[in-house]
Chains A and B, each alone.
Chain A
Amino acid sequence: MNANIPEGELTGKWTKLRSSMPLVNPANKRSIEIIIVGSGLAGASAASTLAEMGYKVKCFCFQDSPRRAHSIAAQGGINAAKNYQNDGDSVYRLFYDTIKGGDYRAREANVHRLAEVSANIIDQCVAQGVPLAREYGGLLDNRSFGGTQVQRTFYAAGQTGQQLLLGAYSALERQIGMGKVEMFTRHEMLEVVVIEGKARGIIARNLITGELERHFGHAVLLGTGGYGNVFYLSTNAMGSNVTAAWKAHKKGAYFGNPCFTQIHPTCIPVSGDHQSKLTLMSESLRNDGRIWVPKKKDDQRKATDIPEEERDYYLERRYPAFGNLVPRDVASRAAKERCDAGYGVGQSKLAVYLDFTANTERYGRIEATKHNIHNPDRETCMRLGRDVIKEKYGNLFDMYKQITGEDPYELPMRIYPAVHYTMGGLWVDYNLMTTVPGLYALGEANFSDHGANRLGASALMQGLADGYFVIPYTIGAYLSKELATKPIPLDHPAFVEAEASVRGILEHFLSVKGTKSVDFFHKRLGKIMWEKCGMARNAEGLTSAIAEIQALRKEFWQDVRVPGEMNEFNPELEKAGRVADFIELGELMCMDALQRNESCGGHFREEYQTEEGEALRDDENYAFVSAWEYKDDVKFELHKEQLKFENIKIAQRSYK
């Protein structure tokens, strides 16, 4: 696999490429059409920027407004190598932390570029009026996130994703208002149209009328997010899906590292079978929350009644250097280890405590000093400290209380790991182009920057880097050669055929009239995936999962019940298409996990671990990106992109 990484020194690759990239002159840009699917951080930032540059842009989202894309739910923050805290941060350090955090399974050149443009993102967002948190002097504030020892995370309370997305959304709406972007809300992309080997358009369904539409573009960009909902229960929004990426995959785009999924350590535990989704409690809480379980098995006492010496702060014990701020994969596995060993808390015993008491008291003491209260009693400290905690995490505490009915200011939170993000995605080269010329993937939809584990506050950074600062340059390399391509008429046989195939699938779903709802199959798929391709995997489990998923697929196509009609607003029909794709993807994820005979980052194969239970990589045989090619009839062929580490010494990842 050729990733088209520019020649030269790592630090100079991007600058050099940017300056030598072919350009498209303003007059020609006006006649070039670009289709963008998805309106989250990656999609909206790309759409607005490309429109500002003069291209004709069409943007599609399945939600009723681009502002509702799931980026909106990101809580904690966005990393940037600004070194505003004077704590030794630099582009190199952000690059290094990200490569190490990803357990040496990401591409050096991509990650370095990400670190380089990270500072521009913050500048751009502030210029747009994004109200990031500030200190009294009026300058921007930072906090720490997992896997780093500097403070480089910018934030807006627990709503950073919301504020950044609304910034990108207003830039997008500005272009819509100016007539430069044509926006299609409540539209779902159901096929990529490929003509003579190049992506030339899409088939989209108008979700209100049910009509299928054909759209031409000189290039097609997918910013369609991740596929965490393959597990049914995840922190993803209900509508988040893999369909656009999967259709692209079936049209020739290779799928990169599908088995690399991120299980986030701090989520609200499952409360029952009715559960439709899981809610994240931001990683930023680990700045001030200490994670522990009782030292005694099956301890029935209330958390606050368990004395200090009978608590096991297992992250601080196992990883003294990083403590509660170890990367997500490490923290998740450690929680699972304690619960599996019988030390879990709460009714289900599948939870650990996240406790703010110590830091509330510490903040209270600082506040008391500020207010000239000498020798404050504990109660005063707790009262004053609580205001500080409230200002930092108020909305998260409210959210927790709403869901669990417990007050986290009084009792420690109960948390457990849950599926949160997918590092895998469409394989792209350095220019973000997939293996189908003219088809690009941005943000979480591609596989590129996070290796086998993403660090906190890096998803927002990557989505905006791709959309604002990477694709606007790299797409020129392709489009500059397309100037002679006239818009292809929509009655071209490729469009007709693509639409017919989409219609055929939808009509099939409606005609089955089986006995089980779409959700029934989705839940079953989720259970298989969580148990056998979740936080811990082994060859035996994965092999049986593949067989189970194949059987489930057969059953789904023969027995699903989809009510309603095609030409109307029919959410069940939408879900059927998405679950059909999730089932096929689930099989590929298990295959990928099975072939990777090593543990790395979020991919933990029980057969491959150190004596202390840490992930054991095999750099000699598995330092590659797996890039899967789709073959007819849900068969897949593995290709490999060998990873070269020329600037970082590859080592056993240690957070001790």
Chain B
Amino acid sequence: MSTGNMNLTLKVWRQKNNKAKGNLVDYKMSEISPDMSFLEMFDVLNEQLINKGEEPIVFDHDCREGICGACSMYINGRPHGPKEGITTCQLHMRSFQDGDTIVVEPWRAKAFPVIKDLAVDRTAFDRIIAAGGFISVNTGNAQDANALPIPKFQADSAFEAAACIGCGACVATCKNASAMLFTSAKISQLAQLPQGQPERYRRVQSMVAQMDAEGFGNCTNTGACEAECPKGISLENIARMNRDFYSAKFVSEEEV
């Protein structure tokens, strides 16, 4: 069952470290099963490289079920490959044809420097969250959970924004390498909940400031981020963030 009949040519970005220059290297793959996941195909390739005494390809991955956000391959010019609504680890070889040539690159963005091969540094996202992507409530300060009813549509909408997995596909696909979809998803989740109100305007200002400081680009409303987001995070979140950002300038009494 393990072997199949697909033959493929891979062109994979190899880069020794963040200082070295990288280049695309060709690999021929044969007997690939359509039931394999894309990353399992890379496991097979790496096993072959190790057996030949070559260095395996480094790529980020962990849960392999589309929720941790670690995997991050730019496949044939699209983050997470040709299918919509999934991450690289959920992509299966049945989505390709026998004889295909597949180009695999790392995320490309100044704020996501390459560490090695296909692995990039996405800690900029953590710093954006650290700047304000939270509600300031220490452990032990909470009231009874049902003391604060939240309309279902509002809770659902917050949940949809909160479904972001922080993979960075939005940045990778954006011609400006903008992190607005990521940043706005967190801002929007908290702005729609009553718990998020006290820090609403402070939050949007600090997070946007951090986003800019990290070197991400601006938004020009192309919408590629929404189209490529594996979790379907909506552009509406960016609109909501912008609205709050401008409002903050007028209504907020605190300087951030």
Chain A residues with CB under 8 Å of chain B are 45, 48-49, 52, 63-68, 70, 72-73, 82, 84, 120, 122-140, 156-157, 159, 162-163, 166, 169-171, 173-174, 176-177, 183, 185, 208, 237-239, 271-277, 279-280, 347, 398-399, 402-403, 405, 468-469, 472, 517, 519-520, 561, 563-564, 568-569, 571-572
Contact = CB atoms under 8 A, between A and B. Distances in A.
Contact of B145 (A65, A140, A405, A571): A140
Contact of B152 (A134, A405, A563): A134
Chain B, interface SS category: loop
A569 B115 CA distance: 8
Contacts of B133: 170, 173
Given A126-B195, A138-B149, A177-B131, A399 B90 contact: yes
Most buried by A among B2, B37, B134: B134
Nearest to B72: A64
Contacts of A127: 135, 137, 141-143, 145, 195
17 contacts: A64-B121, A67-B126, A68-B62, A126-B145, A127-B141, A128-B195, A156-B162, A176-B130, A177-B131, A183-B126, A274-B36, A280-B65, A398-B85, A519-B47, A563-B50, A569-B17, A569-B119
A275 B65 CA distance: 13
Interface in B129-182: 129-146, 148-152, 155-156, 158-159, 162-163, 165-166
A569 B16 CA distance: 9
Contacts of B119: 64, 569
B67 A159 contact: yes
Q: How big is the B interface, by class?
A: 35 or more
Given A132-B155, A171-B139, 8 more contacts: A64-B123, A67-B129, A84-B146, A131-B189, A208-B115, A237-B64, A276-B39, A469-B139
Given A65-B125, A123-B145, A156 B159 contact: yes
Interface of B: 1-2, 17, 33, 35-37, 39-40, 43-44, 47, 49-51, 53-56, 58, 60-70, 85-86, 90, 92, 94, 115-116, 119, 121-123, 125-127, 129-146, 148-152, 155-156, 158-159, 162-163, 165-166, 189-190, 193, 195-196
Interface centre among B49, B131, B137 (most CB of A within 10 A): B137
B46 to A, nearest CB: 8
A157 B159 contact: yes
A165 B40 CA distance: 27
Nearest to B50: A517
A73 B134 contact: no
B150 A138 contact: yes
A563 B64 contact: no
A561 B50 CA distance: 8
A441 B162 CA distance: 30
B244 to A, nearest CB: 15
B65 A166 contact: no
Nearest to A347: B1
B112 to A, nearest CB: 11
Contacts of B85: 398
A324 B13 CA distance: 49
Nearest to B60: A64
A405 B145 CA distance: 40
A82 B139 contact: no
Nearest to A157: B159
Contact of A137 (B54, B58, B131, B149): B149
